[in-house]
């Protein structure tokens, strides 16, 4: 699994940019939700290629042999 990280940039005027990396699909929105709420209103979004990729899923199968 790729490392998940958030890059936060604050410019001289106080505008904040948040970039989420290592998260596929809309999981990036869930990851940044609390931070966005604390900072105020979102004025725009730009989605990276990772947003349009399918998140990795893990499935397991358990088999039981009854004898």
Does any domain span residue 59?
no
Beta bridge partners of 7: 19
Question: What is the Cα–Cα distance from 6 to 19, expressed in whole angstroms?
Answer: 6
Instruction: Give yes or no for residue 59 having a pLDDT over 70.
Output: no
The string of DSSP letters for 21-38 reads ES--TTHHHHHHHHHHHH
In this prediction the pTM is 0.68
Does any domain span residue 25?
yes
Does any domain span residue 66?
no
What is the per-residue pLDDT for 54? 85
Does any domain span residue 33?
yes
Does any domain span residue 62?
no
pLDDT per position as a tens digit, 2-52: 789 999 999 999 999 999 999 899 988 998 999 899 988 899 999 988 889
Question: What is the Cα–Cα distance from 26 to 24, expressed in whole angstroms?
Answer: 7
Q: Count the domains in the chain.
A: 1
Does any domain span residue 65?
no
Which region, left, alpha or beta, applies to residue 30 given φ > 0 means left and ψ of -120 to 50 means alpha? Answer: alpha
Contact 16, 35 (CB under 8 A): no
């Amino acid at each position: 699994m790729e490392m998940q990280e958030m890059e936060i940039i604050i410019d001289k005027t106080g505008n904040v940019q948040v970039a989420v990396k290592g998260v596929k699909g809309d999981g990036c929105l869930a990851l940044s939700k609390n931070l966005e709420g604390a900072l105020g209103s979102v004025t725009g979004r730009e989605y990276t290629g990772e947003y349009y990729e399918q998140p990795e899923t893990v499935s397991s199968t358990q088999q039981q042999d009854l004898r």
